[in-house]
Structure 1
């Protein structure tokens, strides 16, 4: 028995010694940064971390581009599951470091299986993230971490930042506990524990950014965390289009070519981007389009609608089958629904060519905002969106650049009003959305994050 205990103790001490000896190297100011082609030394170095698909994390991509634009060296760390922003590939100061995806068998939406697979998935993610942060990247002065997901990202990132001497900055897009509450309910023990850790652990971080003012106020009151609001603003590749540019883009696709050549003036293009997740109830849009189709069938003055839905996500196949059934039963007589996954350039052109944008983002916390609306405003596209959450008014001015709804009936009423013959309501919203084009990401980032990272005076 004693020999067994001594053996275990020896094994553990050996493992601990190996762990300590192989800890990642520390950041040393001005000695770890690479020389650029111009032989100038970068102002700083930043690890931009997202435990998810980089291509579907545009805000983190914009962070990376802004840091590089202001002379900082960037390791952009995340999963490579879709195309990244093309400017990132062309930027010599940005290095993409991929994280291995968790095995497909650990992906499930079943509530019972989630309880079993979630710890295994978290362990896989924790090891993959630790390996990348500690051994595939040079130590950096800063580490910018997206939240959510909070577990296991924060635990690993904060440990590596501490060991390597990096200053940890959290970018709060939402709260991880509120997303788990959608599956398990707010009173579930795991959700309550998650919330406690999410509000207690990050106090050690050097700085915090939030996507809204109300989120910053909530962190201050509930977690005693002082955060800098850093609102999403559209980057420069989202721009209003001329009539010629719109016609050129629409003519590329069979479903919209008839509009481009003027053969279908009584048709409107509606666009919505969705991640096909539970916090975006796509059935609201489907029900509204069914009701609109029925009304337009009886009222020929109402235009037909081409609805183009972009994005990827777990519930996509479920809703595609519902759309197919609606088409089969002729409930979308005056409405066409198409799904697409577009390049960043084509997505921006689609928004600039559309007549109206729709946001179904419901906000699990009530304190975040849908970035898709920001992109739509960047092209001067007016928006209607789910508005039953606190932060909505920080983004959309009711009746000025968009309008809100809270159910399918409300959305259908907005579509009828905005697409009616005179079009005055839609033109008014269009004018308001065009004014939002002047509010750009670079200006917002420089005044907030640029000063935190010390790359902007």
Structure 2
């Protein structure tokens, strides 16, 4: 491709664009370079705020497929519907020099994208977030013919792509060892709107949450100038209250591949410790769980039945620009992500690191590329380990100096985490240029 002229790039996301931060970041970075971007996907939630500010990004929404009750027939029908819908949008939008497609899912996005690129002579770039075949195996079993077909499609089209990006060294090595596919690691990093949240920002944001957004939990009933976590000095500068609770956040898609009972049972241990005599001096705890998904109501009923006295759980839904500020107010984040392949890395941890919040993360093969145990967070393998971490981390909080020192040390380590622009410019920009 000619280095001097700006390119037309299409991005295919067979998912909700608003919940595809990595592909959204690709679009924003391409637009910053002056390339014209047509991003195709579902419009189930608000688009990133940066899309609205860029004249170079155009979005095109897929139409959701009407559902058929029979599972196999529904899958076939959805594949046909989506293939026609996707190819139609590719055909009627501007001719592309390159097409970047997210994988998974492989069917039909990889096939349709490859056919389109062959017809018009565009470059095909696949961004490997995980394997579609390993995700499918969770629901239909590894020996399913559908899993075998998906694996064959990924292998064949991965080899025929002009370039391949991937999210971890583990996937890079696996792609090459298993299928001979060469790829470039592009680590996820948060966008430019993520960063450390100052005390002033925290205080102002929590007041807005409490007063305007309806989250009464963040209001101080005795002082309208204070919040649950912060108060003001006589000179109007904010400070952290000495009687504040521990504040932890977790994000989830509420699906079967993320066992949220691990966190709930660890919190039950925390509550039981209070009821059993409180040998350790533990603070009250506020737990915020963000996200939407099919099992949300199931877990909310479970939480309600537990009748905790010292733990409060909230499940806020936040706007795109509010999310970094909200998670940046937390003392620590929790990730229960378990990879179907063991090779991908959770974006929720990247977001937390972007606002300098350390994490407690469920262990799997590739996690060590992101979380360094005892450095920027801690790794656990079961509810007992998570329970112990929560009690050890917050014993005597917030007056225990060693606890605060440990939390601050981990936050300090995250100052060098980096940002998306730096990584993208060094790895992806030369390919598009």
Does 2:245 align with 1:267? yes
- Who is 1:428 aligned against? 406
Shift of 1:203: 1.1
Are the aligned partners of 2:286 and 2:313 in contact in 1 as well (CA < 8 Å)? yes
Does 2:389 align with 1:445? no
Q: Secondary structure at the match of 1:74?
A: strand
Shift of 1:67: 0.4
Does 2:270 align with 1:289? no
Residue 183 (structure 1) aligned to one of 116, 139, 145: 139
Q: Distance in 1 between matches of 2:349 and 2:130?
A: 16
Q: Secondary structure at the match of 2:248?
A: strand
Shift of 1:71: 1.4
Q: Distance in 2 between matches of 1:391 and 1:377?
A: 17
Q: Distance in 1 between matches of 2:430 and 2:407?
A: 34
Shift of 1:361: 0.6
- Who is 1:23 aligned against? none
Q: Secondary structure at the match of 2:114?
A: helix
Q: Distance in 2 between matches of 1:78 and 1:192?
A: 26
- How do 1:45-64 residues align onto structure 2 when only pairs under 5 Å count? 45-64=8-27
Shift of 1:239: 1.0
Inter-CA distance 430–345: structure 2 relative to 1 (3 Å threshold): farther
Residue 165 (structure 1) aligned to one of 113, 117, 121: 121
- Who is 1:340 aligned against? 316
Does 2:36 align with 1:73? yes
Residue 391 (structure 1) aligned to one of 327, 341, 366: 366
Inter-CA distance 293–68: structure 2 relative to 1 (3 Å threshold): same
Which structure has the larger Rg? 1
- Who is 2:282 aligned against? 302
Does 2:73 align with 1:116? yes
Shift of 1:42: 6.0
Q: Distance in 1 between matches of 2:160 and 2:23?
A: 21
Q: CA RMSD in A?
A: 1.9
- Who is 2:45 aligned against? 82
- How do 1:392-407 residues align onto structure 2 when only pairs under 5 Å count? 392-407=367-382
Residue 347 (structure 2) aligned to one of 332, 350, 371: 371
Q: Distance in 1 between matches of 2:16 and 2:5?
A: 27
Which consecutive unaligned segments of at least 5 residues does structure 2 have?
A: 211-215, 220-227, 232-239
Q: Distance in 2 between matches of 1:42 and 1:71?
A: 10
Question: Which deviates further from its counterpart, 270-279 or 185-194?
Answer: 185-194
- Who is 2:384 aligned against? 409
Residue 280 (structure 1) aligned to one of 235, 244, 258: 258
Shift of 1:416: 0.5
Shift of 1:121: 1.4
- Who is 1:357 aligned against? 333
For residues 246-266 of structure 1, give each alpha carbon's deviation from its aligned partner in whole angstroms, at most 9, with x where no partner exists. 122222222122223467724
Which consecutive unaligned segments of at least 5 residues does structure 1 have?
A: 1-27, 31-40
- Who is 2:217 aligned against? 255
Question: Which deviates further from its counterpart, 256-265 or 61-70?
Answer: 256-265
Inter-CA distance 425–228: structure 2 relative to 1 (3 Å threshold): farther
- Who is 2:194 aligned against? 238
Shift of 1:345: 1.5
For residues 205-250 of structure 1, give each alpha carbon's deviation from its aligned partner in whole angstroms, at most 9, with x where no partner exists. 1100000011000000111100000000122211111112112222
For residues 328-354 of structure 1, give each alpha carbon's deviation from its aligned partner in whole angstroms, at most 9, with x where no partner exists. xx2x22111111111122110011101
Residue correspondences, number: 405
Are the aligned partners of 1:177 and 1:192 in contact in 2 as well (CA < 8 Å)? yes
- How do 1:23-62 residues align onto structure 2 when only pairs under 5 Å count? 43-62=6-25
Shift of 1:201: 2.4
Q: Secondary structure at the match of 2:10?
A: strand
Shift of 1:279: 2.0
Q: Secondary structure at the match of 2:229?
A: helix
Greater percentage in helix: 1
Are the aligned partners of 1:212 and 1:369 in contact in 2 as well (CA < 8 Å)? yes
Inter-CA distance 423–314: structure 2 relative to 1 (3 Å threshold): farther
Are the aligned partners of 2:375 and 2:413 in contact in 1 as well (CA < 8 Å)? no
Residue 325 (structure 1) aligned to one of 305, 322, 326: 305
Q: Secondary structure at the match of 2:257?
A: coil
Are the aligned partners of 1:76 and 1:95 in contact in 2 as well (CA < 8 Å)? yes
Q: Distance in 2 between matches of 1:172 and 1:423?
A: 43
Residue 150 (structure 1) aligned to one of 101, 106, 113: 106
TM value normalised by structure 1: 0.85
Are the aligned partners of 1:296 and 1:303 in contact in 2 as well (CA < 8 Å)? no
